[in-house]
Structure 1
Amino acid sequence: MASSGSHLKYEPRTLEQREIDAKRNAPKYARERRLNAILTAKFLKAKQAFDNYYHYNMDAAFDADNGSWREAMDPWLRIKDTLFEFLQGYTKAAVDAKDTQLTGEALRNLAAAIIRVAKEDLAGAGRSNAFLDDSFRTSAMEYVETLRATYNLPQAQPDSSEEEEEA
């Protein structure tokens, strides 16, 4: 038996209200569309790892009232700094968890995928991504090599027992 005394009543949103919401959230939707266009499995895995590390929530990072991004809540907008922090934390967590799948090659691929996602994400957010150039990528790859050496990660997964003799 339904409660007829409820003071809560659903009222459908008018077309005007829906149009206002669509305009307010247009930058967020544009950013999501841009990202979704490139998110193959490889890029999706990289994005998820980065998002999870920072507990990223696009809805919380977008201020619909002002139509702007809360940069402090959006690690993608601060990728120039957060990429290196992420790579350090991700590597340390994998080593601490004794993850034998993490190699220098896997870390390089992850960094490259994150840079690619960041380029699209920044463009989708209406920000310049010009700094994510070859110089930035080279710096990231050099940092990956530093992490590989620091944490003594293998260069790649061994294909056979022959590689053990090379050491």
Structure 2
Amino acid sequence: MIKKIIFFFAWLGIFLMSITGIVYVVVPTYLVQFNTYIGTLSYDIIVFIISALYFVISILKFLSLFERSKDYEIKTEDGVVYISSGSVTSFIREILSKDKEISNIRVETSKKSRKFNIKVRLDMLSNGNISGKSSSIQNEIKSKLADKMGLEVGTIEVKISKLSVKDSSGSEE
């Protein structure tokens, strides 16, 4: 926690120094000129570019402080386990790729409070029972994530991008 406070004040200092540099170049009457080298056009351009660069970097740093973590955090009795969203995505793809009727799998994950929401887009070859198949996909994803990774799943959206229906003889229509 102390490190975070120190880094916050360091970035705040960089931000204030960049604003001071920009003000010094744009409106030099507010600040005192120190010697003859300070105040030449080339020096002013260099100070302005460096100050503007640090200004942009510090704004980006402040904005990144408010981003939500995409990693999933599971607290156990021994400590905390972090699972990346990429791991969850590849795990879901692996689960669904075992089904021969499903192809072109695209997975998006998001975290809302303690629950994880999943959107799955896929192409499906079905025998006509689409709602039953999508329901079984949802149940399988939810149970496997709970059993294997210990994740609490909120909603699972299954979006079928392309649907092919096979007839009773087993060929596609």
- Say which structure is richer in strand: 2
Question: What TM-score comes out, normalization by structure 2 length?
Answer: 0.28
- Say which structure is richer in helix: 1
Greater gyration radius: 2
